[in-house]
Amino acid sequence: MKKSILLILSAACMLAQSCTDVKNEPITPGDAIPKQVSDITWVATPGGAEISYTLPNDPSLLYVEAVYTLKSGEIRNAKASFYQNKLEIEGLADVAPCKVEIYSVGRNAKRSEPKKLEITPLEAPVWTTFYSVSMEPTFGGVRVQFTNETEASLAVTVLTTDDAGELYATETFYSESAKGDYAARGFDTTERTFGVCVRDQWQNKSDTLFVSLTPKFEMELDKKKWKRIDLPGSTHDGHIDTKLEGMWDGLASSATASFFHTKPNTGFPQWFNFDMGVEATLSRHVFHHRVSNKTDGVYTAGAPKKWSIWGSTDPDPDGGWNNWILLGTFNSIKPSGLPGSEKTDEDYQYAAVIGESFDFPMGLPPVRYIRFVTEAPWGNVTYMYASELTLFGDDGSHTPEVPSEGEGEGEGAGEGEENSNN
């Protein structure tokens, strides 16, 4: 027993002695400075540059860092790990030389001396997008279109004037899509000034494009007057407990909102008809996708992908097409362009919350009866579903305001011309 205790004590002493003999040292000495990168080259990109280099043969290297200054004075850092031989410079507003310093950073956080270079970016997306902006009158406001070729994250703000002539922001649209087509609405049919400016995520801001124009009159047609019309060949009966009237009950954008779901195996094309209760010249329609959650309903299964809208003042009682005219054919657009049922929050917001908005062609005759034809759905199914349909236009009940004598006199010259200001 005593021998066993002695052996244990001896082993413990030897272990303690061996531990005191081991000296732990850092992988990288505290005062070691990593070697610099070499063979630096760069290629200009919109609003920045791609910088390439050769990494040093140095086990202490952790990452490479570029330091530069934005137009706002903010100092920016771009980093790339030791597994990469390039990094991205972003956020530059102007096509002008920009000084960049490249550092090697070690595992001990020590930085090498900088390698200095000067880059000149291509024109930033905030400017190329701004130069593409166009504005034109639309129903109830102004239509704004633009091209965002790099699909940069941008905010496009629409400005107008209040009663005191002061500018204010009426709408801001956020987009990463290659093309933008938006409308700021809610205005009467008097001439007013609108402006558009573009901003990026680094707070670089374009000039403002101004134009004076007169919005076209429109009103939301009263859905309380709408009634379904059952005609031969049409699809009005809903699946399970859904009803066609669910498409015009004013409820959309939530999982509990009512919707219309046609019966499975109906096939395409399929259509339903309804009476608006008044004759009206249609300007646009807004279509809300059915949604049960953010992953279902929107841009999938029975959500209409292509549809046409027809109008009539005297529909055939036999369900035929003789007295119907085509008002327009429309395609559902997924802003992100992602394949299949994939979608982004912007897609969901556009289809389920805002609703897809489509203008009818100008010059259409007034109609009273509507035939909504689903040509094809987003999914490989034999039914369609939708949450809400809203129609806008002019039913003739609006009396235009006649300017009083002398109104508008004394206005400055040049109104109505496009210009840009800082």
Q: Is 141 helix (H, G, I), strand (E, B) or coil?
A: strand
Global confidence as pTM: 0.65
Taking the CA atoms of the chain, what radius of gyration do you get in angstroms? 32
Mean pLDDT over each residue of the chain, to the nearest integer: 87
pLDDT in tens, 358-406: 989 878 999 999 999 999 999 999 999 999 999 999 998 876 665 555 4
Q: Is 386 helix (H, G, I), strand (E, B) or coil?
A: strand
- Burial of 418 by CB count in 10 Å (0-12 exposed, 13-18 middle, 19+ buried)? exposed
Task: Please compute the mean of the pLDDT values over residues 250-277 and round it to a whole number.
Answer: 87
User: What per-residue confidence (pLDDT) applies to 285?
Assistant: 96
User: What per-residue confidence (pLDDT) applies to 181?
Assistant: 85
User: What per-residue confidence (pLDDT) applies to 244?
Assistant: 92
Confidence of residue 9 (pLDDT cuts 50, 70, 90): very low
Which residues lie closer than 8 Å to 371 by C-beta, 6 or more apart?
234, 271, 272, 273, 309, 310, 311, 312, 315, 324
The residues that bridge with 117 in the sheet, in sequence order, are: 100
Of 15-24, 91-100, 247-256, minimum mean pLDDT range: 15-24
352-390: burial string, b at 16+ Cβ within 10 Å, e else: beebbbbbbeeebeebbbbbbbbbebbbebebbbbbbbb
Hey, what amino acid is at 155?
A
Of 107-116, 268-277, 332-341, minimum mean pLDDT range: 332-341
Q: Which of 356, 257, 363 is nearest to 307 (CA)?
A: 356
**C-beta of residue 396 within 8 angstroms of C-beta of residue 186:** no
Confidence of residue 78 (pLDDT cuts 50, 70, 90): very high
**C-beta of residue 374 within 8 angstroms of C-beta of residue 290:** no
Of 87-91, 166-170, 344-348, minimum mean pLDDT range: 344-348
- Full set of structural domains in the chain with CATH: 38-119 (2.60.40.10), 125-217 (2.60.40.10), 219-394 (2.60.120.260)
Q: What percent of the chain has pLDDT over 90?
A: 69
Comparison of pLDDT for 254 and 84, the residue scoring more: 84
Whole-number Å distance between alpha carbons of 309 and 181: 21
Cα dihedral 124, 125, 126, 130, rounded to 10, equals 120
Task: Please compute the mean of the pLDDT values over residues 138-165 and round it to a whole number.
Answer: 93
The residues that bridge with 281 in the sheet, in sequence order, are: 394
The residues that bridge with 161 in the sheet, in sequence order, are: 167
Q: Is 288 helix (H, G, I), strand (E, B) or coil?
A: strand
User: What per-residue confidence (pLDDT) applies to 417?
Assistant: 37
Which one-letter DSSP state was computed for residue 220? E
User: What per-residue confidence (pLDDT) applies to 38?
Assistant: 96
Q: Over 80: is that where the pLDDT of 20 sits?
A: no
Is residue 344 left, alpha or beta, with left meaning phi > 0 and alpha meaning psi from -120 to 50?
A: beta
pLDDT in tens, 316-353: 999 999 999 999 999 999 988 899 888 888 898 899 88
What sign results for the dihedral spanned by CA atoms 135, 136, 142, 147? negative
**C-beta of residue 75 within 8 angstroms of C-beta of residue 83:** no
Of 131-145, 289-303, 404-418, minimum mean pLDDT range: 404-418
Comparison of pLDDT for 192 and 412, the residue scoring more: 192
**C-beta of residue 370 within 8 angstroms of C-beta of residue 311:** yes
Whole-number Å distance between alpha carbons of 147 and 154: 11
Q: Which of 224, 247, 180, 230 is nearest to 390 (CA)?
A: 247
The residues that bridge with 168 in the sheet, in sequence order, are: 160
Q: Over 70: is that where the pLDDT of 192 sits?
A: yes
Q: What percent of the chain has pLDDT over 70?
A: 85
HSE-up of residue 349 (Cα within 13 Å, Cβ side): 8
Confidence of residue 139 (pLDDT cuts 50, 70, 90): confident
